[in-house]
Amino acid sequence: MRGFVRIAAAVPTCAVANVQANVEATLSLWRRAHDEDHALVVFPELGLTSYTARDLFHDHHLLRTALEGLQHLAHIGRDLAPLAVVGLPLRTARGVYNVAVALQGGRARAVVPKCYLPTYREFEEARWFRPGVEVPAGASLDLGPVLGHEVPFGTDVLLQADAAPGLTVGLEICEDFWVAVPPSALQVLAGATVVANLSASNFIVGKAELRRLLAQASSDRGKCAYVYVAAGPGESSTDLAFDADAFIVENGRVLASSTRFAREPQLVSVDVDLERLERERMVTNTFGDCGREHAKVFRRVSFSARDEVSMPLLRTVPRHPFVPQDPATLGARCWEIFEIQTNALATRMSAIGRPRLVLGVSGGLDSTHAALVAATALDLRGQPRSELLCVTMPGLGTTEGTRGNAERLVEALGAELRVISISEATRMVLQMLGHAAVEPEDDADALVARLRQRPELGDVTLENVQARLRTLVLMCLANAHGGLVVGTGDLSEKALGWSTYAGDHIAMYDVNAGVPKTLIQSVIRWVANERVGTWSQGDVTALRQTLFAILDTPISPELLPADADGKIAQLTEAHLGPYELHDFFLYHFVRDGARPERVLDLARVAFGDDYPVIELQRWLTLFLRRFFTQQFKRSCTADGPKVGQVALSPRGDWRMPSDARVDEWLAEVAAYQPE
The strands making up 96-104's β-sheet, listed across from edge to edge, are 107-113, 96-104, 83-91, 40-42, 4-11, 266-273
8 Å CB contact between 205 and 188: no
Instruction: Report d(CA 100, CA 111) in Å as an integer.
Output: 6
114 is a catalytic site residue:
yes
642 is a catalytic site residue:
no
Out of 14, 45, 494, 517, the active site residue is 45
Out of 14, 115, 125, 174, the active site residue is 174
664 is a catalytic site residue:
no
Q: Which of 350, 305, 655, 375 is nearest to 524 (CA)?
A: 375
Beta bridge partners of 357: 388, 484
Cα–Cα distances in angstroms (integers) from residue 457 to residues 52, 444, 462, 564, 575, in the given order? 82, 15, 8, 17, 17
Measured over all CA atoms, what is the biggest interatomic distance in the chain, rounded to whole angstroms? Answer: 107
**Other C-beta atoms within 10 Å of 386: how many?**
12
Instruction: Report d(CA 393, CA 477) in Å as an integer.
Output: 13
- Stretch (H or E) spanning 493: helix 491-496
Q: Which of 293, 294, 70 is nearest to 182 (CA)?
A: 294
8 Å CB contact between 218 and 182: yes
Secondary structure (3-state) at 213: helix
Q: Which residues of 151-163 are buried (b: 16+ CB within 10 A; e: fewer)?
A: bbbbbbbbbbbee
Which segments of 199-294 are extended strands (E)? 225-229, 246-250, 253-257, 266-273
Out of 114, 223, 494, 633, the active site residue is 114
Q: Which of 85, 120, 41 is nearest to 301 (CA)?
A: 85
In sequence order, the 6+-apart residues with CB closer than 8 A to the CB of 346 are: 377, 380, 381
Q: Which of 273, 384, 254 is nearest to 326 (CA)?
A: 254
Residue 307, Cα to own-chain centre: how many angstroms? 21
Active site residues: 45, 114, 174
